[in-house]
Structure 1
Amino acid sequence: MVKRIVLFIVSIALCFSVQARTDVFPQSDFDELSYGLYWFGANNQYEKASADTKDGSTYYDPSKPTLIFIHGWQKDHITELERQTFYEDDSNGWPDMDFANLWISEGYNIGILYWDQFADESEVKNAEAKIWSTEGNKAMRWLDSAGTYHDGPDQTVTELLLAAYEDAMAGYQGSDIRLAGHSLGNQLALRLADELVTLAASGSVNSNEVPQRVSLLDPFYSNYAKSYLDGAWVGEKAREIVARLKAADIAIDSYRTSVVTSSIFVGDENKELQNSVAFAEEKTGFFNQTQQSQKHSAAIWLYLWSIAYSTPTVSDNTLAGLSAATTNDEVKEWMATTDHLVQSEGGSTKDPQDNVFETADAL
C-alpha cells in the first residue's frame, strides 16, 4: 500500500511539475514539429535562435554570459498548447515574477531548449529513452496539437538539440555559458555538455562554445537497466558523463527539492553522482508533503530567483553556499569535497534571500 501511494504521488509530481503558458506561442508551433533554442526577453517575448541570430539579435548578444534552460517530461502539454516559459502565473506555486527579465538585468542572455513534442509521453521512461537512443519503446515519435503521434527523425533528442545549439552559438564571443536542466532535462544538459567537450577537443567547435557550468535542478533518472543502453542504467551513464566533465574542468551543481528524484519506487537517487558534484538539498516547507509536484517544480524558480542575491550562508563552513549566484570556481570547491549542503534556515519562505545551509556528509 505504501509503495502504491508513493508511486502515485511521485508520478503525479512528474506529470504536472512544470508550469506552462498557453498564450505565448502560436498554434502552428504545436501543429508541426517545432524544437530547438529560443531566446527570451522581458514579458515572454522571444525569438527562435538559428544561424541567422548567431552574431547578435533582438534578445541575444554573443558577448554576454548565457543561461540556457532545458525542460523535462511534458505529459499532456501539447494538446493544451502549453509551453514552459520564464514568466508563469502562480497556479503551480510559481512566484509572479519575470525570471527572464531578472537574468537580463543581471547581464545575461537567457534561453530555453525545447523538445516538448518528443517529451509528451504518458510514461516518463519513453520520453527519457529519446534522449539516449532512437531505439526506445516509442522510437522518436512526436505529438501534435490534435493528439496524434508522428514518426520522428532518425536522430536522438540530444543530436537534434546539439545541432540547434551549434547553429545558434557558433558566433559566441563570451566566456561563460551554463546549461540548467530540470528533471529529465538534466540528462540532456549533461549529454550536450559532454558532446561539446568532445567537439571542442577535435577542433570542430570553438572552445568558448563549451558550457563552463551545468546545473542539475531536481534531476531525475529512471530505475533499472535499459536495453537501448546495453543493459546500463541511465544514472550509470550520467555518472560516466559527470566524470568526463569534471576532467574537463566543468563546474556541476545539483539541487534536490522533492522526493521525485529519490523514491526507490520511481527514481534512481544516484547517490554516487550527487556525491561527486556540488550538491545541495533545499527545503520547500511552503508546500506540504502531498504537493510533490510543486516541490519538484520549485527547483526551477528557486534557482532562477537566486541569481538576484549573494550566495547563501553556510553556517559551519567558510565556503560560499550554492545557488545560481555562486561562481564556477566556488562550485568546483564543493565538488572537491565529500560534503554536501542541507538547508537549515529559510525553508518556509519562497524568497531564497533568507536561505542558510549547513554541511552534511556524503549520501
Structure 2
Amino acid sequence: MKKVCFIILIVLLISNMGYSYAFALKKYSQPKSEVKNTISISYTSNISDGAVDITVNTPVKIVFDEDINDTTITTDTFFLSNSSGVKIPGRIVTEGRMIILFPQRRLKPAATYKVTLDAIYTNEGNPIDKISITFTNKDLDFGLYWFGYNGLHEKYFPEYDNAYYKPEKATLVFAHGWQANFVNQTDEYGNPTFNYETFLWKEDNFGGASKHNGFFEYINHPWLDKGYNTGIVYWTQFADEPTFLNEGVIGVSEAEAKIWSFDGPQGSRYRLPGDNQYKVWDKKFIFDGIEVDVESATEAMGIYLVHALKANTSGNIRFGGHSLGNQVICNLAKMCYENGIVLKRIALLDPSYTIVDSLVDDIFKKYKGDFYSYMPDDEYGTTPAERCRKILFNLMNKWTYINDFVVEAYHTTGLNLSIPVMDSNSSLMKEICNVNLAPWYYSANQIPQKHLAAKNNYFLSMGFDSPIECEINWLNQRIKTGNIGPSATTPNSRIKEMMGGKYDWTQVEGRYTPTPVDDWFERKKSPQGEFDFDNCGLKGDINDDGIIGLEEAINALQAISSRNY
C-alpha cells in the first residue's frame, strides 16, 4: 500500500512539473504585443527653427527629456544639409539625453542650412517625432579651424572638445595672405561664392613639368602622421580687397592694414559672399559667453588661438604664414608671448610687406600724409616690415637660447625684393635661416602658382627626409657638405645653426619635381638676405638696372590676385 501511494505521489509531482514547465514555455513564447506610443518627447536646442545671425559652424546641440538610444543615431538620421539638400560632413556626439552635431566643413556666411533628425528612439523605446531646424548664418566668419585627414575640419569653440585638436600634441598653425577676389570663387568642393584656402595641393597644370599634372596631396597629412595638430586661422573676408581700388590704389595694402589695425584706409570692412558688396563690422563678437571688442583682424583670430594654445602642453608649437600671412603670424606670435605661450618655430613662406614712399606716390595718391598712421603707437615701429622684424627679434632674444626657437624664410617669387611697392625686409632676412626655393615645375609666367609653392612645398616636406646641402667647388661641381639642408623636417638645432646671415641656401636640385624627395640646396655666402634672381619666377621681368619695374610689379601683383584655385 505504501509503495502504491509513493508511486502515485511521484506521478502527480512529475505531472505538475511538466504542466508548470509547459505553462512557462507557453508564457515565454507569447509574441510581445505592440503598444502604440502616445508619449511626446520634448527637447530644447541651442539653435531654434528660423534663427538668423548664427555664428558660422556653431555645433547643433539638442537635449531631450529622455535618454537617447545612441544606436539609432547615425549620419542618416541626424545630419546637416545646405539649401540644395546636399549633406554636410559632420561628427555626432551623444551623451545621455544630449546629442551634438559638429559640422566638419566650413559653412558659408549668410547662407541657410537645415538640421534634420528622424527615426530616433529613446532608451525606453519611444520614437521621437521628426525634427527640422532651419537657420541662417552670420554674414562674417573668422577664427580658428583644426584640420584632420582628407580635408575634414572643425571650427574651434572653447566650450566644446574639437575632434582635430588635442592639447598634449605638437601643433602647427597656418595663416593665409591677401585674398583678392577670393570670396566669390568656387571652393575645392564645388560650392560657389565662398572660397577659402585649405591644406589641399591640387594641380593639373604644371607648366614646367607637365608629367606631374594630376597632382593631389593634402599637405597636412605628413604632420598628422607625425602626431601634430594642424590648424588654419582665417581672415578671408577681411583679406579680400580687390587688386585696384579707386584712384589706382593697390588693394594689398588695404588688406594688410587690417592685420595691424581697423583704423586703416578701409577700417573693419569685409566682403560679403555672392556679390561685390562690402560691409563694415562693429568689431564685436561673443566668445566663450562674453562680448569682446577687437582692434584688428589678427586680434579677432588671436582670441581663438590663444585660448586653444594656453592649454597646450607639447612644448612644440609651430607657426607658418604665407605672403601677408607672415605678418599675421608675427602679430599672433606677439599675442602668444604676451599670454605666456612659448613657440618653437616660425616659417615665413614667400613673405611680403608693402612700403609706401615717394616712389609710389602715383599709386597711393588717394592717401595724403603718413599712410601708416593707423599703426599701433608702441615700440614695434610704424611699417609692416619694421614691426615684424622687431617682434621676431624680440622673440629670438627671449626664446632662442632657452627653447631653441628658430625662424626661417622660404622665397619662391622674388616679389618681396627690389619692387617699388614691396619691402625686402633684408635686415630680418639676414638674421634668420633664409632659403630660395626654385619651383621650376611651374613655368616662368605662373607667378600665382609659384607664390603658393612656398606654402605647399614647405608643408609637404614634413613627409620627407631633410634635403642634401652642397657647395660648388672650383670645377663648378656640386659637392655634399655632409650637412642637411633646410625643410620643415630639418631639426630646430640645425635650423638654429643656419641662422645669423653668414649663408643663404638656394635650391639647385629637385627643381622640376613638386615633391621634395630629390631636393639639394647650395650653401652660398649671404648677400645680405637678398633673393637669388637666377631662381625666381620674375627673372624675365627685371630691368637693365636689376630692379623690377613698377609696371612689372603691378602686373605680378595682379597675377597673384587673379588666382582661381
**Structure-2-length-normalised TM-score:** 0.56
- Partners of 1:210 and 1:221 in 2: how far apart? 25
Give, in angstroms, the shift of residue 228 of structure 1.
2.1
Match of 1:185 among 325, 350, 368: 325
What is the letter of the counterpart of residue 149 of structure 1? Answer: Y
Counterpart contact for 1:251–1:332, Cα < 8 Å: yes
The answer on whether the counterparts of 2:238 and 2:271 sit within 8 Å (CA) in structure 1 is yes
Per-residue displacement from partner, 1:126-174 (whole Å, max 9, x unpaired)?
0000011121100111111133212121520121121111222232121
Task: Measure how far apart 1:279 and its partner are.
Answer: 0.9
CA 1:95–1:266 in 2, change beyond 3 Å: closer, same or farther?
farther
CA contact (8 A) 2:467 2:520 kept: yes
Distance 1:218 1:312 in 2: 19
With over 3 angstroms needed to count, the CA separation of the structure-2 counterparts of 1:68 and 1:26, relative to structure 1, is: same
Aligned amino acid, residue 374 of structure 2 = Y
Q: 2:240 aligns with which of 109, 116, 120?
A: 120
Per the alignment, residue 504 of structure 2 pairs with 340
**1:176: how far off?**
0.5
Q: C-alpha separation between the residues in 1 aligned to 2:424 and 2:215? A: 28
1:41-52 alignment runs, 5 A limit: 41-52=148-159
Q: Which residue of 2 aligns with 1:37?
A: 144
Give the match's secondary structure for 1:247.
Answer: helix
Name the residue aligned to 1:238: 388
Of 56-65 and 84-93, the range deviating more from structure 2: 84-93
In the alignment, what sits opposite 1:163? 303
Contact between 2:201 and 2:217, CA under 8 Å: does it hold in 1? yes
C-alpha contact 2:201 2:456 (8 A) present in aligned 1 = no
Segment of structure 1 superposing worse, 128-137 or 26-35 = 26-35
2:260 is the alignment partner of 1:140: no
User: Equivalent residues in 2 for 1:122-271 (5 A)?
Assistant: 122=242, 123-146=251-274, 147-152=276-281, 153=283, 154-200=294-340, 209-224=341-356, 226-229=372-375, 232-248=382-398, 249=400, 250-271=405-426
Deviation digits for residues 259-294 of structure 1 (CA, Å, limit 9, x no counterpart): 222241332122111111111101111112211111
Secondary structure of residue in 2 paired with 1:25: coil
Paired with 1:27 and 1:132, the residues of 2 have a C-alpha distance of 26
**Counterpart AA for 1:27:** K
1:102-144 Cα deviation digits (max 9, x unpaired): 3211211111000101000011100000011121100111111
The structure richer in helix per residue is 1
Quick one: distance in 1 between partners of 2:299 and 2:162? 25
Letter in 2 for 1:295: K
Residue 347 of structure 2 aligns to a residue whose secondary structure is strand
Residue number in structure 1 paired with 2:554 = none
* TM-score normalized with structure 1 length: 0.86
Contact 2:173 2:320 in 1 (8 A): yes
Q: Which residue of 2 aligns with 1:324?
A: 488
Once the two structures are superposed, what CA deviation does each residue of 1:209-265 show, in whole Å capped at 9, x if it has no partner?
A: 322111100001012262223783211221111211210222101100112222413
Instruction: Say how many residue pairs are matched.
Output: 331
CA contact (8 A) 2:327 2:388 kept: yes
Q: Which stretch has the larger CA shift, 116-125 or 23-32?
A: 23-32
Gaps of 5+ in 1: 1-22, 201-208
Per-residue Cα deviation, 1:303-343 (whole angstroms, up to 9, x for no partner): 11100111111113444311110122221111135211111
Q: Which amino acid aligns with 1:155?
A: E
Distance in 2, Cα, partners of 1:258 & 1:91 = 20
Distance 2:525 2:395 in 1: 23
Does the aligned pair in 2 maintain the 1:286–1:348 contact within 8 Å?
yes
Q: How far is 1:71 from its partner? A: 0.3
Match of 1:14 in 2: none
The C-alpha deviation readout for 1:26-62, integer Å capped at 9, x for no partner, is 3237762111110011121110012134xx5311121
Q: 1-side partners of 2:312 and 2:429: how far apart?
A: 31
Change (3 A) 1:105 1:307: same
Give the match for residue 218 of structure 2.
98
Counterpart of 1:111, as a letter, is G
Partner AA of 1:32 in structure 2: D
Looking at structure 1, the residues matched to 502 and 394 of structure 2 have their Cα atoms a distance apart, in angstroms, of 18
Shift of 1:358: 1.3
Kindly report which structure 2 residues correspond to 1:304-319, keeping only aligned pairs within 5 A, or say none. 304-316=459-471, 317-319=481-483
Unaligned runs of 5+ in 2: 1-87, 89-104, 112-137, 186-193, 207-213, 243-250, 284-293, 358-371, 472-480, 528-565
Which of 79, 100, 111 is the aligned partner of 2:231? 111
Counterpart residue number, 1:289: 444
Measured in 1, the distance between the counterparts of 2:501 and 2:240 equals 38
Q: Give the residue type in structure 2 aligned to 1:353.
A: V
User: Is the CA contact (8 Å cut-off) linking 1:39 and 1:47 kept in structure 2?
Assistant: yes
Q: Which residue in 1 is equivalent to 2:177?
A: 72
Q: 1:87 maps to what in 2?
A: 200
SS at match of 2:321: strand
Deviation of the 1:76 alpha carbon: 1.2
Larger radius of gyration: 2
Corresponding letter in the other structure for 1:136: G
Whether the 8 Å contact between 2:468 and 2:484 is mirrored in structure 1 is: yes
> What's 1:8 paired with?
none
CA distance 1:318–1:140, change in 2 (3 Å): farther
8 Å contact from structure 1 (residues 260, 292) kept in 2:
no
Counterpart of 1:221, as a letter, is Y
Go from structure 1 to structure 2 and tell me whether the alpha carbon gap of 1:313 and 1:169 turns closer, same or farther (over 3 Å shift).
same
Q: Is contact 2:429–2:501 with CA below 8 Å preserved after alignment? A: no
Q: Distance in 1 between matches of 2:204 and 2:258?
A: 29
Q: CA deviation at 1:199?
A: 2.5
Please tell me whether the aligned partners of residues 173 and 231 of structure 2 are also in contact (alpha carbons under 8 angstroms).
Answer: yes
Question: 2 CA distance for matches of 1:288 and 1:263?
Answer: 22
